[in-house]
Amino acid sequence: MQPMEQENTGALSGKKIVLGVTGGIAAYKAVEIASRLKKAGAEVHVIMTRGAENFVTELTFREISDQPVTTDMWAKVPHYHVEHIALATLADAVLIAPATANVLAKAAAGIADDMLTTTLLATKAPVFAAPAMNTNMYENPVTQRNLRDLAARGYHIIEPASGMLACGVRGKGRLPEPAAIVEELAAFFAKGKELAGKKVLVTAGGTIEPLDPVRYLGNRSTGRMGYAIAQQAKGRGAEVVLISGPSALPVPDGVRIVRVETARQMREAVLREFPTADIVIKAAAVADYRPKIVAADKIKKQDGEFTLVLERNPDILYELGQKKAHQI
């Protein structure tokens, strides 16, 4: 084992990892994954789907993990009151390896029809998915869409390897080597809390500038970049304040959200938080201009042209630069 791998895998010591094993030929590699996690000091709880039981036995994982293995949603469980909730709650991370096209599709759709998918829906722990399947299945637009959707929701997708697959086809879709998967999981925990004690201020989304009580000028920003940055900063130990224009995205766990609409509202919120911030990341799409006059009532349709006069919005970033003291 290389020194760097030793350093990273040490970050797994004491971590509770829920390992979801699904029904692909690569399920046999999950045995080594469980073994490596256990040797790294992690507590491993295995959930097997019905399909996985066709490739590897429950006994194998029970002996490797030294923990009960969950295979049946409806079996009597002496260890937990409601098992999928207990597993979802205790997990420091959930790892699906191999992740078949089927389980990825169910996770993307929010289907919860077995213990693994129910646990995925109930957990707030980070989820890692290592896809493994036939190349054509992996490259299918539906699978790629599901992977994008899951990644957008915060799933960590472990890129599959290329090579000769069990079906005899050469291409992308192989489960990465167990050592590489465990190393990626360890690296996640090893990055640790380097931002602990720091306050990170993130702006996200677009601003909207009203024309009248009904209409406004806006842009197509979703806020996705800013929300992802806020999630990463929180995961690295920071106190995070997210100042967001209108967005449909869920607020990352543990992040304090300040919702605004206009550029001037965003300026006020940013200046209020700025003196105590250590790091400021401006990912918002702030409107440069706003209507000079906002009508009190809905503007009626009229003949001929309609002229809209705009005036400049404040340059928040420039103003922060003038006020900057210790902030990055």
Active site residues: 167
Joined tokens for residue 63: 């002996």
Alpha-carbon distance of 134 to 150, in angstroms, equals 20
Alpha-carbon distance of 286 to 315, in angstroms, equals 9
Residue of 301, 317, 308 lying closest to 209 (CA atoms): 308
Residue of 251, 237, 241 lying closest to 271 (CA atoms): 241
CB 221 within 8 A of CB 284: yes
Alpha-carbon distance of 116 to 93, in angstroms, equals 13
Distances (CA, A) of 15 to 10, 45, 186, 192, 268: 10, 11, 10, 13, 41
Alpha-carbon distance of 319 to 267, in angstroms, equals 9
What residues have CB less than 8 Å from 81, skipping those under 6 apart?
A: none
